[in-house]
Copies of this chain bind each other. A is one copy, B any other.
Amino acid sequence: MVKVMASGTFDLLHMGHIYYLRESRKLGDSLTVVVACDETVRKLKHEPVTPEKMRLNLIKELKMVDEAVLGKSGDRYKIVEEIKPDIIALGFDQIHDEKKILSELKIRNINAKIVRLPKCDDMNDLDGTRRIMAKIISAYEFQKEMESIEKS
């Protein structure tokens, strides 16, 4: 029984997320997903669009996900200690230093293998949270411009 762990923010679900989770699941027999809590997202990225409860509940509904839990703020390895994964899957674009993770795992006596997944070739332009946001903003700007032209 090989337990795989994947993690991420998963704000505005897209096919990049699906690809990452599907490939992660293939590495073992079960997939546990850690969904970053709002506090962590704020610290490492930006204000999340959708709140942690919503991001967690959506991930739980995906076919390839056996279990999903909310990450912890502060010591991010605490949740790894609880999950006890055999494999930690990293997405191709996730900024994680693999050597640093391995040394942190060693300190905690966690014997997990780290697998960095390759990039999917068949990605769409909108398979990125920031790209979805950019499309919404650009449509909004366009609409505003049209309205100002109509008024003038």
Contact = CB atoms under 8 A, between A and B. Distances in A.
Interface in A36-61: 47, 49-51, 53-54, 57-58, 61
B51 A15 contact: no
Copies of the polypeptide in the assembly? 2
Contact of A140 (B54, B62, B137): B137
Contacts of A61: 18, 62-64
Contacts of A15: 54, 57-58
A139 interface: yes
A61 to B, nearest CB: 5
Interface stretch (A85-93, A107-115, A128-136): A128-136
A124 B53 contact: yes
Contacts of A2: none
A12 interface: yes
A132 B51 contact: no
Nearest to A139: B47
A133 to B, nearest CB: 5
A102 interface: no
B14 A50 contact: yes
A126 interface: yes
For the complex of A and B, 7 pairs with smallest distance between CB atoms: A136-B136, A137-B140, A13-B13, A133-B136, A61-B62, A61-B63, A63-B63
